[in-house]
Structure 1
Amino acid sequence: MSIDGQWHIVIRSALGKQEATAQFESDGSRLVGKVDAGGGRINDIEDGAIDGDLLRFKVPMSTMPITLSFEVTRDGDTLAGHAKAGAFGKVKVAGTRV
């Protein structure tokens, strides 16, 4: 099953639960797409890579000068892993296919 499609993402940070919607598209081992954090804040995925069920990608935040570096594993229609959030360290990430 492909990663392509829309995903509901939940990030659990020191600032509380943050939710977003990601639109992923695969091109071989390359991952592209957009992340919608709501309120008109849509960011392109950067440096996206797919290695089996492991996804790595970066999303620059528009609300603060930080880039989240994601490393998540897909298991069917769910995602689990973490994101490095600069000085905030690692935060837990989970997702489900919409």
Structure 2
Amino acid sequence: MSFDGKYNVTIQTPMGAQQGTLELKQSGDDLTGSMIAGSGESAEIKNGKVNGDSASWDVDISSPMPMTLSFEATKAGDNLGGSVTLGAFGQSTFEGVPA
């Protein structure tokens, strides 16, 4: 199962649902790519790893405040879903569908 692809992502946050686009490229167990927020801010993913049908990665954002978003995802069919740690704001959920 490959995580390669472009996904429309919705992250549940204390400020409401936030939309973005996630582009992932898998090479073995390494995962690279980028995430573009609804505001247009773009960030490279880092620490990307794949383990079977699950993956994890981090994204550093600067808006609305600087923090690291840490994702834990599983893939079901073409869709992604899982949890995301929102810096000091705790854990929430996200989902992604093919773009």
- TM-score norm. by structure 1 comes to 0.94
Q: 2: distance between equivalents of 1:53 and 1:40? A: 29
Corresponding residue of 2:47: 47
**Secondary structure of 1:2's aligned partner:** coil
Q: 2: distance between equivalents of 1:87 and 1:29? A: 28
Percent identity of equivalent pairs = 38
1:56 Cα deviation from its structure 2 partner: 0.1
- TM-score norm. by structure 2 comes to 0.93
Structure 1 stretches (4+) deviating beyond 3 angstroms?
none
Contiguous gaps of at least 5 residues in structure 1: none
Q: 1: distance between equivalents of 2:86 and 2:39? A: 21
**Secondary structure of 1:45's aligned partner:** strand
1:76 and 2:77 matched? yes
Contiguous gaps of at least 5 residues in structure 2: none
**Matched-pair contact (CA < 8 Å) for 1:69–1:83:** yes
